[in-house]
Structure 1
Amino acid sequence: MTDINAVASQLSQLKLRLDQAQLTHRDASLKSRREIAILKRLISRLSVACRGLDSELDEKIGMLRQDLEQQKDISLLIPRIAVVERLANRMGDAHPKERELLDKQFQRNSEILRRFPGLPAQLKRDLHQLLSQPTTTLSGSLQHVLGLMSLYERALKLVATKGLQNNPAAIQQDLLMKLTAELQNLITELDFDGEAGDKLLTIRNQLLKGVLPSELLTIALEVLRLVLTGTHQERQASQQFLDNVNGELGTLCKTTQQSAEQSHTIYEHRGEMTDELAGLAQSIKSGLQTHKQLDSWRPELTHLTKELLVLAERNKALEKREKALLEQLSYNTSKIEHLYDQTMNYRQRLTDQEQRIFLDNLTKVYNRSALNDRLEHEYRRWLRYQHPLCVALVDIDNFSTVNQHYGHQAGDKILKIIARTIRKQLEPTDFIGRFGDDAFMLILPDVSEEQRNLRLTAIRQAIAQLPFRFRDNNITITVSMGATLFESNDTPPDIIERTDKALTGARSAGNNRILWIF
């Protein structure tokens, strides 16, 4: 009877260990599902971080993300990742071709522009429209430069066919001023780190001081070279980031698939052991009920005990495999967390870069590209809700005279202080952007007539009260304003033209004035 009690006790212990093993397997399965959830979140973040680098790459990463959301087999992700890797390599291979095309385009247009005496009025507007279009990506900036060069070639052909010879000296000077201003705006929209960014900033300061016509072509060539250098560096950084992420993802997918297969195998073995243990327990139970004398049943009981010992040894082996699987899952989790941190850092870098792209480097208010985007956005809201939408153009009176007498550093300081002063007078829903060299555009949405008049008057008075002192001279800076409202069938170009007319009228009436045109 004592032996039977011992056997029952051993069976109870084995059942307890089996229950513990089942709980451990369940925990491992839950951890595996949590790992897959983290992988889904990583792919989602990756699709956001890499958006805009290449349309096909965006599509393939999006498909990879959809496969994860649809709970497909993890093994199917490996071919998807291989496709993403090939696309990333293709991007690196295509860059030299794009660079060669840009070099050829520039060489052809630079020779034409070198002999160009002036630009027709219509093409001036076309040039202005081209350069006022926002560029939010590096590839867009390259296309922007290509379009600029193409327009220069068109301009020369038109001048050659029409035989424009009216006052070539004045036309050349006007062209020089326009191209210098547009080149400044283009440099402002570029944002490169390192040596390329420092050189571009130096060129912009040089353009502000003024350059000779013979120097403009050399400067334009240098800008293009710096754009190519900066773009190449950005592409290399993006390529390296994608290669690292692809390699890590490939390894993770392989190890995750292996872990899933091992987990499934352990689960099957555990089920087989459970069935065998249940059979042995049933045999022992039946034997206890059938045999009255233990001696007659001892051989069979001995055999059953040996089988129980074999099951115990198999259970120990499964425990070792489960421990190795848990260690692998822990390693995969740490790798996924590391990849997630890398992706978040890269996303933050892109966000910071985007903010710098849309901010004017000098005044720290929004630049022309951001201004165009916001004006278009407010225009669409106005079409929908028909709320009052005010747009005002603020220009510094006699700014060129200040630059001539006190230098461009003084002019830069004035621009910074005036931009900061205007921003303080605005509400959070208002918008300020740098429209030109010494002009700022304000957008005041959903503001009553009394409020907008008070706000613009407060800006004008606050600027007039600013204390400026240069070279031991106290000077007063004032601004003129032209303002209007969206009405009837107005579009953003109509509003810009009308505010410019209003500003011209305010200047004609004298400094430090506001003029409304409806």
Structure 2
Amino acid sequence: MNDIAAVAGQLARLRESLQQKQLELDGVLSFSDAERARGIQFINKLMLSCRGFDRELDNRFAKLKQKLDNNPAFTSLDADLLAIEKLLQQHSNALEESITLTKSAIDLGSKQLKSIKGFPEDTRKSLKAFLASPDGYGIGDHQKKVIRLLEFYQQAIKIQLLPTQPLQDPVASTPVIAIAELSCPEPTIPFDAKTHAHIADELQRLITELDFAGAIGERLADIRRQLLHGITPPQLAEICLQVIELIIEGTREERKSSQAFLSTLNESLSAVHFSFTESLDEGRALQSATQDTRQAIDKELRAIDHTLASNDSFDELKGAISGHMGAINLLLQDREAMAARERHLLTRLSNMEAKLRLMKEETAEYKKRLTIQKHKLFLDSLTQVHNRAALDERLELEYKRWLRYGTPLCLAIIDIDHFKNINDNYGHMAGDKALKVVAKALLGALRDTDFIARFGGEEFVVLLPNINPDKYQKPLETLRQTIKSIPFRFRDARVEITISIGATLFREGDNTSDAFERADKALYSSKHSGRDQVNLG
């Protein structure tokens, strides 16, 4: 009786344990289903957030959604998720590059804003706060800064067109216009000719630094020709907007071109990867089949040896040998079929190698184009010396080197004397020619370690690192004499062109602005002391 009670107790405990395990199993299954639903929900949200970035990415997500609707095992989606991950990585890299380019454009635009005079007090305070604001994190923050930057540029254009009227801050509300003002005839708008010419020169410089091909490049060249021949203030405002629109359009076209190339390259790589996988599987199958055939032939040969050793009757031996030869013949036929498959596989591998070679050549060519474009970004297209962006980068490098090693560093500003007279008397084409010749002569007279950049208009900046601090005026005098000795001729008339130079050495406690200000003051002294001379600051 006690045994029965003990067994009953054990059964009860076993039943409780089984019930507990069942509850745990139900919980695991429920947890697994919840995790699966959460994963599918996350993928759907990711698909919605990425929609419209790229057609290939949208197609990949659409195919993945179709598979998810059939409730497959997650392990069967590895290939699709890997392809999407690669595309997202490509977009991440492109986004980082876009943020870097946008930040550079914001920094350049901010530097230009600093030099503009005439902002009202409220706008100047807003501009100062904007320039001191942090860079921001994502593309959205940078886009907001670009929009804000354009608002300040619009105010700058209004200063050019309406210098006598107070300007509102870009974020302030639009002022109420009195009815009496509306009924008055529109007054004649005065303008500052110097500011007008400065903005026109800056636009010319900007256009020469741009490197857009096709219709956009031609339209920018037309605008530059208009600027060279002279425009009115209302035309200047319209041209500023046209240049902004063309820059945006050109950037968008180049981005589309890059995306198209990357998409084509990705499709080609996917096709090659698929072909390679198939070829690999086929090679393995052929290797296995060849090994099986070799083993079967060896088996038949051993069987023939056994038959020869165990049969004395000629007729029986003949029949046995005939059977073995028939089997070997079938195996040889299979071997011929495998040889045909091998030839087909070699052809596929050869085609795949040709595709890879073509992709390598296209990628190399694209890389070469990018390198050329990057070089052109730092090159003044008119004079073929470095531009202001390259100057900023090189000056920062030489300044850090000067701080670290203490080797002498000279900064010189060069201005072509009476350059406006060349444009007025002989035309802007003659002025362009003079700029090219002067830039080439200056570049040829410098050392390999020296640096020259076109600073804007008819001004150039030269950096002379590791120069003798007691004799650094000598190489500058050589530059002056080199330009003065060039036999310029315009319309069959010989014209003497000279340059004025202001230079300084970096001193203890200097930053780059300090050296620039001293060199600029020295240049001012040169130009107001008779020109065609070198002054040190």
Shorter-chain TM band: 0.5 to 0.7
1:468 paired residue number: 488
1:387 paired residue number: 407
Normalised by the length of structure 1, the TM-score is 0.68
Q: Which has the larger radius of gyration?
A: 2
- Residues of 2 paired with 1:308 and 1:350: CA distance? 62
Shift of 1:395: 0.8
CA RMSD of aligned residues (A): 4.0
Which one of 305, 312, 315 corresponds to residue 325 of structure 2?
305
Which one of 377, 385, 395 corresponds to residue 357 of structure 1?
377
The amino acid of 1:430's aligned partner reads D
Are 1:275 and 2:275 counterparts? Answer: no
- Residues of 2 paired with 1:90 and 1:390: CA distance? 42
Shift of 1:214: 1.6
- Residues of 1 paired with 2:117 and 2:413: CA distance? 32
Count matched residues: 407
Contact 1:379 1:492 in 2 (8 A): yes
- Residues of 2 paired with 1:386 and 1:284: CA distance? 92
In structure 2, the CA distance between the partners of 1:380 and 1:170, relative to structure 1 (3 Å rule), is farther
1:510 paired residue number: 530
Question: Does 1 or 2 have the higher relative contact order (CA < 8 Å, sep 6+)?
Answer: 1
SS in 1 for 2:382: coil
Contact 1:395 1:480 in 2 (8 A): yes
Shift of 1:262: 0.5
SS in 1 for 2:420: helix
The amino acid of 1:149's aligned partner reads L
In structure 2, the CA distance between the partners of 1:226 and 1:407, relative to structure 1 (3 Å rule), is same
Are 1:341 and 2:342 counterparts? Answer: no
Shift of 1:199: 1.9
SS in 2 for 1:474: strand
Deviates more, 1:465-474 or 1:192-201: 465-474
- Residues of 1 paired with 2:292 and 2:349: CA distance? 24
1:287-326 equivalence runs, <5 A: 287-288=307-308, 297-326=317-346
- Residues of 2 paired with 1:275 and 1:471: CA distance? 93
1:265 paired residue number: 285
- Which stretches in structure 1 are left out of the alignment for 5+ residues? 1-52, 58-74, 93-115, 131-138
2:70 paired residue number: none
- Residues of 2 paired with 1:257 and 1:325: CA distance? 12
Are 1:213 and 2:233 counterparts? Answer: yes
1:118 paired residue number: 118
- Residues of 1 paired with 2:246 and 2:316: CA distance? 97
Deviates more, 1:478-487 or 1:259-268: 478-487
2:153 paired residue number: 152
2:216 paired residue number: 196
Contact 1:118 1:172 in 2 (8 A): no
Shift of 1:391: 1.8
Are 1:404 and 2:424 counterparts? Answer: yes
In structure 2, the CA distance between the partners of 1:298 and 1:123, relative to structure 1 (3 Å rule), is farther
SS in 1 for 2:413: strand
Deviates more, 1:360-369 or 1:141-150: 141-150
Shift of 1:146: 4.4
SS in 2 for 1:509: coil
Shift of 1:324: 0.7
1:487 paired residue number: 507
- Residues of 2 paired with 1:309 and 1:295: CA distance? 21
- Residues of 1 paired with 2:512 and 2:229: CA distance? 32
- Residues of 1 paired with 2:532 and 2:429: CA distance? 23
Of all paired residues, the percent bearing the same amino acid is 35
Contact 2:202 2:456 in 1 (8 A): no
Superposed CA deviations along residues 267-297 of structure 1, whole A, max 9, x for unmatched, are 1112222333333344444555556776665
The amino acid of 1:390's aligned partner reads C
More helix by share: 1
2:473 paired residue number: 453
- Which stretches in structure 2 are left out of the alignment for 5+ residues? 1-52, 58-76, 95-115, 132-139, 157-166, 176-187
1:180 paired residue number: 200
